[in-house]
Structure 1
Amino acid sequence: MPTPPLAGGTAGPTHLRPLLDTVLTALHHGAARRNGPLPAGGPATVTQHMHDATHPLIPDHGTGAHHALRTLVTALAEGAADPAHPHCAAHLHTPPLALAAAADLAASALNPSMDSWDQAPAASALETTLTTALAAEIYPHAPRPDALVTTGGTEANQLALLLARERHGPVQTVCAANAHHSITRAAWLLGLPRPVVLPAPTGVMDPTALHDALTRLDGPLLVTATAGTTDTGDIDPLNHIADLTTTHGADLHIDAAYGGPLLFSPTHRTKLAGLHRAHSVTLDL
């Protein structure tokens, strides 16, 4: 059997161009058939449509690259939830920029494997530069700030609790009722005590309740504040919380997965005042 056309190398672009035209046409036709932010008919209808379009999913004989792409991509686009539609209010995911999708194509074609330098020389250098630059956005005055890439906010929060455990042993986590569920999950996975959950009557952590908790609890303590709740985007009073953790000798982690990109807004970055005072920060782009 001859080798199928590959996406990489000098011949990659030549192989990709006709396939991309098929995909883009299928995306257009699928979106036109959907004609709205969601497919009509609900789960049963969408499931049946996908089954009809793709059955058998693993055929004995293929239908050819263009036919397979046209069939699958059209069905996916027709049955998609489209965050780019003006009538779509996304839960969390955003409408992707065309620029980002084009960049994803380059990453897919090059397929760097980030587990060792020899499999991704340039990408490894780029990742190091990117993480250092992101860390400098959060810690502009630190001598050598650094960061690393995780699979998302949930893993980043777990890593923050892990680092606190490595520094101090079995830390007691203190968070507010507005904290993301990944904080409690991470404490459980790491064998740490169940977090002490403080009230958030106005949607953010109550500093008075935090002061009382830090006064009565024995250390070591890790306070996890939230900069941008997933429900309402509320930001805890970060500077006030940092003052209290400093006074009581507690560590501070700030989950800024949702609100952290305000750092890139000259107008709104002041809403994150105090972010740099945390021992660790979660940022989700």
Structure 2
Amino acid sequence: MQQYQSECSLKYIKKPHRLDLKFEKSFSMAIKKGKTEILELFPSRSIKTVYVSVSQLRDYKQYKEDKGSLKEVLTTPLHLACQNSDIEAVRMLIESHQFDVNVLLNNKNFMYELLQNSSYMDFSILNMIFKRKRPCINSGNKLALNAAILKGNPYMIKMLLEFGDPHPFLVDANNKAAIHIAAAKLDIESFDALIEKGADPMMPDGEGNTILHTLCMGIIKDDEYDFIKRSVIKFDMRLTRNRQGRTALNIIKAHSAQGVSMRGQPNFKKKIWEFFEQKIQ
């Protein structure tokens, strides 16, 4: 993000009667109100990459109280446009105003806003941005690829994997990499694609748990059983210890009573138990 003098980007927040960011503020308000015809009236390159407020000053006394407690909510025109799935506003920001697509808001990039809605329009916006720019999907503490896998949108996942150049070992604020999210969602296609991109199926999270630890902690039914067995055989995975000194087999033995005879199914925990012991031998 471009750096501006302190009296530029924060002047309106400190002194609300001075509209030094009148273009950015007005542009953002037009996005919020859905006034596309107004967006076309702004001069080219007049919207700078800055943070703005879209709140309207109605009570000056309340404003003075909120100012001291930092309740003012800031955003950027790009994040607001993505939040509202406004493809025309995004197109104008990129083509007419050369807006920086890598600007972060609360340590989140614009893709995180698109993934909250995850509609066809949001996919169209993401597709348009990737055709014109090369946004960094590895920035922020809430990673776009993790959010896409968690949301389960196959089109966005495929685009981010093919054109986003994801870092295979990058973790989010919860110390989870994309490989952990894909395994938790039992998303075989994304899991295999991540490994092709260089991800390690044995990568531990912040607690030292691999995907085997995580999957064995919950209820194991046929889908979980198939995913674990397939991953262990295909990628030659081994039992490792987490920070508590426990392996996935230890976890299964400690919770061996769970999952027995659920809906008439066999005890998949015991089947995984036996499978792990065969691998050890």
> For the superposition of Structure 1 and Structure 2, which TM-score range results when normalised by the shorter chain?
under 0.3
TM-score between the two structures when normalised by the length of structure 2: 0.23
Instruction: Choose between structure 1 and 2: higher strand proportion.
Output: 1
